[in-house]
Amino acid sequence: MTHSAHASDRLNHAGGPVPGTEGTRFGFFTDTSVCIGCKACEVACKEWNQVPERTDTGFTGDSMDNTGDLGADAWRHVAFIEQPRGHDAMPRAGLGPLVGGEARSAGNGRAGLEWFGQDPGLPPGAHGAEAIPQLPIFNGEPASPAEDGFRWLMSSDVCKHCSEAACLEVCPTGAIFYTEFDTVVVQDDVCNGCGYCVTACPYGVIERRSPGQPGGGGAFKCTLCYDRMKGNQQPACAQACPTDSIQFGPLEELRARADVRAEELIGAGVPGVQLYGHDQGDGVGGNGAFFLLLDEPEVYGLPPDPVTPTRNLGEIWRWVGVAAAGVVAAAGAAVLGGDR
Amino acid sequence: MGSNMAENHPVGFQWVMEAKNRGARILHVDPRFTRTSAMADTYVPLRPGTDIAFLGGLIHHILEGEHDFRDYVLPYTNASHIIDDEVQLPDDLDGVFSGYDPGSKTYDDRSWQYAGDAPDVHAAAGDRINDLVGDDGRDPARDPDAGTPPPGADPEGGEGSAAAFEGGSIGNVGDIERDETLQHPRCVYQLLKRHYASYTPAAVASICGISEQRFLSVAEALVHNSGRERTSAIVYSVGWTQHTTGAQNIRAASIVQLLLGNVGRPGGGILALRGHASIQGSTDVPTLYDLLPGYLPMPTGDKHQDLETYAQRTTAAKGFWSLTPTYLISLLKAWWGGHATPDNDFRFDHLPRITGDHSAYQTTLDMLDGKVHGYMLFGQNPVVGSANSRLHRMALAELDWLVVRDLTMIESATFWHDGPEIDAGELVTEDIGTEVFFLPAAAHVEKDGTFTNTQRLLQWHQAAVSPKHDARSDLWFAYHLGRRIRAKLDGSITYRTRDLPLHELTWDYPVEGPHEEPDAAAVLREINGWDAEGRPLSGFSELRDDGSTACGCWIYCGSYAQGVNQTFRRTAWTEMGPAAQEWGWAWPMDRRMLYNRASADPDGRPWSERKAYIWWDEQAGRWTGLDTPDFAPEMAPHHRPEADATGIAALGGDDPFLMQADGKGWLWAPSGVVDGPLPTHYEPHESPVQNPLHGSAQANPMRQIRPHEHNPDNPSPPDPEAATYPYAATSYRIAEHHTAGGMSRFQSRLSELAKEMFVEVHPEVAAERGLTHGGWATIVSSRTAIEARVMVTERMAPLVVDGRRRHQVGLPYHWGHGGIATGDPANDLFSVVLDPNVHIQEVKAATCDILPGRRPRDHRLRELVEAHRRDPVASRRAHLADAVTADGGSPQAGKARTR
Ligand code: SF4
């Protein structure tokens, strides 16, 4: 975005890091309270980073989300959460939560039919719509959607660029490293595809790409547009975001800004406001990409207490032994096969 | 209202979010809870097609509580004007205004005129088909026999010929009878009060399906946020226009805004968000059959024999339209240069004439009757994007040849071998005689040119990359097509007759590069115009009617002032004032806000410091402020025109609405709107509900119906068969796709975001009809049936209408059978029925039924449609039985997420 650019002497007018800022920790502050769910971030990310199309998704029924989750082929993922109104009087016809769970039947019509006690073959106009109970539409007569209890939350998820990055710590080849901007990046040409990072990541962010795709077999995730940063540009998603939901900058400035924003929203009575990944004392030492949420992290599919599995170091070292063997095997395969 | 700005105009919506951040309150009134609603402070649903009831309720609320901004309303609107003593309102005449002739279904607007001896006033906008003055001095706009208004339409997701013929004469209002006390029973203020007396909160609640409190929360918010210190803006999109009452929806909003003093003032206004990029540009320099550039009427075969008769019939005595001949002669000079001379009428005869309705919908119907042989589609995909898209496929199959210029191989180019009618056996490829030529087009990033956006702002864009392969710009195509045709006709025996307009055309733009791409800036220079010495003009006041100036579009005159491409100005916002006057160029004359004289009080002082914008500088003796004044720059606030004054001099110093015949904002429209001087609630052409206000006028009596075997109607009340299609159907777009899909469904990045057509229903509809979330449904109308994946969501709020729960079925319309993301086109379900003012299709409110499971692909599709029409009850039973045994499809599990 460009319009209300937050001043920082470490960013140029285009929002990218100015030369000489190497050593500064840069990151994202994703303010989900202003996300409009346009998915420009997803598309801009894919365009810039040439991330392949996801082949495993069609119509998911999960609100407007057909991306599903973060992975090798989705480095930004916009979650859509419909929180139903709390009106008790509304007949739910046994449906339960409607969106986001498994596809579910309206009881093949049965639950609803029983509830309405009518033959569905009859049009409401023809058969006594009187059978349909006349209920208040909304409880109260609230003045805002929030007061209705109905909310449609949207949030653009991304790699957290942890202070203590589990993926990096378990990577046996050193393919994953901290850049000069303190971001976490996988080197495609070093990664051997062992996949330890995949299981280590407490957020389920990093993933191996399917064979057959460019770089297939290797692990991929958001690079915070390392290449763009080196060229003094801001990451593609942040530039594309029309509402400033995705903000890029020096992390400490973002943190200060997030504190102010959270205060503002809480002061305005917005329910559920909390910062996520902001606390440097959490299980991953805080995130380089953190969020302002409007509900508990679980609601957005985020783990409430992510932990870098360093406390299981012994176990990890055993795995590294296996990994080393893997490297040898992979190297052999590369020699024999000509490529990975 | 009627807009899903966050999804369909996300880039513009950043400013709404910016305003919200600065404390603005966002109210969203729309049938569906969308991503826009999610961002709003207040969301209020309403039943599709009841916007006038809601807005009428606002007018009622403002007038009953005397909340109008009286200091603004009295001097700046026609509230005090007294109307003809023959006038009658729909409450007196069972649903229609005085002047209605049920036989011809037309209005005579004589009784809508101002009382007194003032000459009849002409609208600054709207009905512009008829000339201002007939041969016999009769006013054809008022005489139903004097001309048949041909409809014009921009069908695909379009907005009709929203163009205005600003044919007003700025008259001396001294002759109009007025009552400044607003007590006279026939003054506009009292007529408004009477007309909207029945639009009480209870009535609004009952018609729109919401509670009174929810309605009142909006009414009170607007009232509190208007006045000297504060203003409110209304944003609408095609959710308002695509109705048989489309123009009246916007009229109703104008009345609200005029009463609250929200027009011509910063932070106010009515903002139309257009359906595509540069739709505004395509009416300014029009792609509409009945207009020449700058809203000059296209000459008609019967009435405009020569320049003199055209000038007579289209020139107003006063105001800007007193210069019609100047604009037209300058246009003729731009087109035929040295060949256009005074003794040959400046080649007026080279202009084509219209002889009837040549609009896209009528032309499509004419194809079916074998009257049209060839057709060219430029960036349009009617077999997906136009109402009753099935009818369009049937029609294209009747052509001899079809040229499709588009980015990708859209359905309109392939329907003859892979369309749904081929599957269903209704069309057979071998029998289709249409020869289709597909020509790849360059995208906007591959060519230079301008976009004109909704605020009349022209912005230049440069080619970033060259088009690939054979793709060429539209400018390239048009230029070289003209050049080649001219070469082919060189030496023809019709050289001096039929072909002369082509040979004499100034068709000499410089070209560059290996493909000989014409210079787009040269075209803009021609549109801007030049004088006899070839010097660029700096504004339309320099135009002359003696042939010494050439100008391709008078309202764009000034866009290349001083030989500089003004549309390419790009000053940073930090470096210029709040009106951003050094960014691009706005017509007319770089005025960023129209009617901005109204931002000052009658004495020329800002209404408040906070809302200062344009004001009278006594010392300098001129208007000044943050923008170019949209007014005579040196006319003092208390100026009164001489009785015989003409043009701009005929304005009063407190007449901000300088294009209107009386200089006032029109609460009441004495002319220009063909279906009534005040907006009235009519049900949509197809509605599940009987009109609660006007029993015998169910739908707009002036709507344009197009009976055809491929265009049958769904029955509506009082027809008992209305229960066949019991749900309200509404079509819309989502953020993930672009209109008929040519720019999105063929790209993997966008397609994967929304691969499949889906239908949105409330849980109660799912229960009533046995639908499975994630499964399949078949949606049926009298036109055809389509299938879609089912999205069960509480966003589709049920509405209580007249004590009964009513549901709507939500149909995004992007998909077709081609591309990566495929699905049935929602527009197959809708009929061609049009608004009478701008001839736009009604696709935001119709009716349908919905059944579980997929539709048949073969001949059984027609059988299903017929069977449902004959016996909907049996049809529903049969489908439900199938669904119960077959489980209606194969729902795909969503990713489980704890909530
Ligand atoms: S984060 Fe920004 S770009 Fe992404 S969906 Fe939200 S508003 Fe759109």
Three-state secondary-structure class, residue B43: strand
- In the A/B pair of chains, how many CB contacts fall below 8 A? 282
CB A241 less than 6 A from any atom of ligand 1: yes
Does residue B823 form part of some domain?
yes
Separation of CA B822 and ligand 1 centre (Å)? 25
Separation of CA A242 and ligand 1 centre (Å)? 7
Same domain (yes/no): B726, B825: yes
Indicate whether B131 pLDDT > 60: no
Measure in Å the smallest separation between the Cα of B33 and chain A Cα atoms. Answer: 9
Among A32, A156, A158, A247, which residue has the most ligand 1 atoms within 8 Å of its CB, making it the best to mutate? A156
Q: What is the pLDDT of residues B370-390, one digit of tens each?
A: 999 999 999 999 999 999 999
Q: Can you read off the two tokens belonging to residue B317? A: 């005595």
Range of the domain at A50: 26-91+154-307
Among A42, A75, A222, A245, which residue has the most ligand 1 atoms within 8 Å of its CB, making it the best to mutate? A245
What's the full length of chain A, in residues? 340
Residue B63 and residue B192 in contact, taking contact as beta carbons nearer than 8 Å? yes
Strand segments (E) across chain A: 26-31, 76-83, 151-158, 176-178, 184-186, 207-208, 219-220, 246-250, 274-276, 289-293
Same domain (yes/no): B754, B866: yes
Q: What is the Cα–Cα distance from A327 to A317, expressed in whole angstroms? A: 15
Number of continuous H segments (helices) and E segments (strands) in chain A: 9, 10
Does residue A201 form part of some domain?
yes
Same domain (yes/no): A220, A325: no
Query: Of chain B residues 673-732, which have a CB less than 8 A from chain A?
Result: 688, 722-724, 726
Q: Can you read off the two tokens belonging to residue B273? A: 């968000």
Q: What is the pLDDT of residues A64-99, one digit of tens each?
A: 999 999 999 999 999 999 997 543 333 322 233 333
Separation of CA A67 and ligand 1 centre (Å)? 14
Confidence band (pLDDT; 50, 70, 90) for A127?
very low
With a CB cutoff of 8 Å and minimum separation 6, the contacts of B328 are B292, B296, B307, B310, B311, B348
pLDDT at A316: 52
Same domain (yes/no): B722, B806: yes
Does residue B434 form part of some domain?
no
Measure in Å the smallest separation between the Cα of A187 and chain B Cα atoms. Answer: 24
Share of chain B above pLDDT 70, in %: 91
Establish if B755 touches chain A: CB-CB under 8 angstroms. yes
Same domain (yes/no): A195, A279: yes
Query: Of chain B residues 726-745, which have a CB less than 8 A from chain A?
Result: 726, 734-736
Residues A120, B872: C-beta atoms closer than 8 Å: no
Residue B740 and residue B157 in contact, taking contact as beta carbons nearer than 8 Å? yes
Confidence band (pLDDT; 50, 70, 90) for A324?
low
Peptide bond into A142 cis (omega under 30): no
Same domain (yes/no): A169, A206: yes
- Sign of the torsion angle spanned by Cα atoms A32, A237, A301, A96: positive
Nearest residue to A143 via CA among B34, B210, B262: B210
For residue B81, CA distances in Å to B69, B78, B177, B428 come to 17, 5, 6, 63
Number of domains into which chain B is organized: 2
List the single residue in B40, B573, B895 with the smallest CB-CB distance to A69: B895
Does residue A259 form part of some domain?
yes
Does residue A288 form part of some domain?
yes
Confidence band (pLDDT; 50, 70, 90) for B326?
very high
Does residue A276 form part of some domain?
yes
Backbone angles phi, psi at B850, to 5 degrees: -135, 135
Same domain (yes/no): B651, B708: no
Does residue A197 form part of some domain?
yes
Three-state secondary-structure class, residue A199: helix
Residue B505 and residue B336 in contact, taking contact as beta carbons nearer than 8 Å? yes
Does residue A192 form part of some domain?
yes
Residue B313 and residue B147 in contact, taking contact as beta carbons nearer than 8 Å? no
What residues in B contact A122, CB-CB < 8 Å? 873, 876
Give the residue with greater pLDDT, B744 vs B145. B744
What residues in B contact A244, CB-CB < 8 Å? 14, 17
Share of chain B above pLDDT 90, in %: 83
Q: Can you read off the two tokens belonging to residue A2? A: 């460009």
Does residue B198 form part of some domain?
no
Establish if B197 touches chain A: CB-CB under 8 angstroms. no
**Average pLDDT score, chain A:** 78
Distance from chain centroid for Cα B553? 21
Same domain (yes/no): A216, A267: yes
Range of the domain at B712: 704-885
Q: Name residue, tokens 């919905």.
A: B850
With a CB cutoff of 8 Å and minimum separation 6, the contacts of B33 are A145, A150, A152, B43, B45, B794, B795, B796, B797
Establish if B23 touches chain A: CB-CB under 8 angstroms. no
Q: Can you read off the two tokens belonging to residue B120? A: 């009849």
Sheet with B435-440, strands from edge to edge, namely B374-378, B401-406, B435-440
Same domain (yes/no): A297, A229: yes
pLDDT at A218: 97
Does residue B725 form part of some domain?
yes
Confidence band (pLDDT; 50, 70, 90) for B550?
very high
**Within 10 Å of residue B712's Cβ, how many Cβ atoms?**
15
- Which of B242-246, B670-674, B708-712 is least confident? B670-674
Closest residue CA from atom 4 of ligand 1: A41
Same domain (yes/no): B871, B726: yes
Indicate whether B82 pLDDT > 80: yes
Same domain (yes/no): B728, B866: yes
Give the residue with greater pLDDT, B167 vs B514. B514
Measure in Å the smallest separation between the Cα of A309 and chain B Cα atoms. Answer: 23
pLDDT at A54: 86
Q: Can you read off the two tokens belonging to residue B299? A: 């000459």
Residues B772, A137: C-beta atoms closer than 8 Å: no
CA angle B26, B30, B35 (to 5 degrees): 65
Does residue A320 form part of some domain?
yes
Confidence band (pLDDT; 50, 70, 90) for B72?
very high
Q: What is the dihedral of CA A261, A264, A269, A270, to 10 degrees?
A: -20
Residues B770, A113: C-beta atoms closer than 8 Å: yes
For residue B335, CA distances in Å to A300, B344, B494, B553 come to 61, 14, 20, 11
Counting Cβ atoms within 10 Å, is residue B661 exposed (0-12), middle (13-18) or buried (19+)? buried
Does residue B169 form part of some domain?
no
Q: What is the Cα–Cα distance from B766 to B743, expressed in whole angstroms? A: 33
Distance from chain centroid for Cα A37? 12
Number of domains into which chain A is organized: 2
CB A39 less than 6 A from any atom of ligand 1: yes
Question: Which amino acid belongs to residue B149?
Answer: P
Does residue B361 form part of some domain?
no
- Which of B90-94, B154-158, B730-734, B806-810 is least confident? B154-158
Same domain (yes/no): A209, A337: no
Same domain (yes/no): A81, A173: yes
- Which of A25-34, B288-297, B426-435 is least confident? B288-297
What residues in B contact A114, CB-CB < 8 Å? none
Residue B811 and residue B788 in contact, taking contact as beta carbons nearer than 8 Å? yes
Q: What is the Cα–Cα distance from A159 to A207, expressed in whole angstroms? A: 11
Residues B749, A53: C-beta atoms closer than 8 Å: yes
Residue A222's CATH number: 3.30.70.20
Establish if B369 touches chain A: CB-CB under 8 angstroms. no
Same domain (yes/no): B878, B732: yes
Same domain (yes/no): A249, A337: no
pLDDT at B357: 87
pLDDT at A310: 60
Does residue B625 form part of some domain?
yes
**pTM of the full predicted structure?**
0.89
CB A37 less than 6 A from any atom of ligand 1: yes
Q: What is the pLDDT of residues B429-479, one digit of tens each?
A: 999 999 999 999 999 999 999 999 988 999 999 999 999 999 999 999 999
Same domain (yes/no): A185, A254: yes
Does residue A108 form part of some domain?
no
What residues in B contact A131, CB-CB < 8 Å? none
Same domain (yes/no): B648, B724: no
For residue B609, CA distances in Å to B599, B605, B606, B612, B613 come to 11, 9, 7, 5, 9
> Residue B271: which H helix or E strand, with range?
strand B270-272
Same domain (yes/no): A339, A254: no
Q: Name residue, tokens 């020449």.
A: B292
- Sign of the torsion angle spanned by Cα atoms A291, A294, A300, A303: positive
- Which of A52-61, B417-426, B475-484, B662-671 is least confident? A52-61
Measure in Å the smallest separation between the Cα of B522 and chain A Cα atoms. Answer: 32
With a CB cutoff of 8 Å and minimum separation 6, the contacts of A182 are A24, A25, A26, A27, A161, A251, A288
Residues B773, A98: C-beta atoms closer than 8 Å: yes
**Within 10 Å of residue B327's Cβ, how many Cβ atoms?**
25
Residues B876, A43: C-beta atoms closer than 8 Å: no
CB A35 less than 6 A from any atom of ligand 1: yes
Q: What is the pLDDT of residues B829-879, one digit of tens each?
A: 999 999 999 889 999 999 999 999 999 999 999 999 999 999 999 999 999
**Within 10 Å of residue B371's Cβ, how many Cβ atoms?**
11
Q: Name residue, tokens 């014409």.
A: B518
Does residue B796 form part of some domain?
yes
Same domain (yes/no): B725, B627: no
Indicate whether B535 pLDDT > 60: yes
**Within 10 Å of residue B738's Cβ, how many Cβ atoms?**
18
Same domain (yes/no): A217, A244: yes
Give the residue with greater pLDDT, B313 vs B884. B313
Indicate whether B156 pLDDT > 80: no
Same domain (yes/no): A272, A335: no
Same domain (yes/no): B709, B839: yes
Establish if B440 touches chain A: CB-CB under 8 angstroms. no
Which residues on adjacent β-strands are paired with residue B623? B616
pLDDT at A125: 33
**Average pLDDT score, chain B:** 91
Same domain (yes/no): B725, B639: no
Q: Can you read off the two tokens belonging to residue A168? A: 């990096």
* Alpha-helix residue ranges (DSSP H) falling in B225-359: 238-241, 246-259, 281-284, 307-314, 324-336
Same domain (yes/no): B622, B768: no
